[in-house]
Amino acid sequence: MTPSARSRRAILFDRDGTLIQDVPYNRDPERVIPMPAAAEAMREVKAAGVATGVVTNQSGIGRGILSREQVARVNLRVDELLGPFDVWAVCPHAPDAACGCRKPQPGLILDACAVLDVRPEDAVVIGDIAGDLEAARAAGARAVLVPTPVTDQAEIAHAEHVAVDLAEAVRMALRMQGSRRAEHV
């Protein structure tokens, strides 16, 4: 099913710390380990017929630590384990590059929505840090935080929607999209 044939809703996931365990500057597909409840969450999204995407900062490319090919191989492994995802949006820039795609900027979310032919307000971003939520907000999308040990307590306190794991985050996102669709009818 093509994204345009879908219900025009999307759930966009952060990669590291959200879909898979965060291995800093991972270049080895064998080190890709899904987060707890990730497989269950992806089954629920697919059953709902919602478009999916991954929006991920990969500053290791811009820092010269990783190649684009290494990142692509890790992404392929994520796709094999949890996908397939309808779109991948990757920011390859170092933090000081001042690009418009590096989260918390909205570029990755806007690009993914454009590829999926989904309005940003019909997308929900799921991530583990404030930058994910800020990027969603800046793009006009909703967001759900799934805290991990690296998530700051202040980020949790300021998040509008917080889930205990990825499966709960997906259920929240699907409910949010249901309420948003009802507003447009």
Count of structural domains, the chain: 1
Q: Is the dihedral of CA 14, 18, 22, 27 positive or negative?
A: negative
Residue 72: which domain range?
A: 3-184
Closest by Cα among 150, 146, 124 to 137? 124
Q: What's the pLDDT tens digit per position in 107-142?
A: 999 999 999 999 999 999 999 999 999 999 999 999
CATH number at residue 122: 3.40.50.1000
Is 122 a known active-site residue?
no
CA distance 2 to 100: 27
Is 14 a known active-site residue?
yes
Q: What's the pLDDT tens digit per position in 13-65?
A: 999 999 999 999 999 999 999 999 999 999 999 999 999 999 999 999 999 99
Supply the DSSP string of 145-174, one letter for each residue.
E---TTS-HHHHHH-S-B-SSHHHHHHHHH
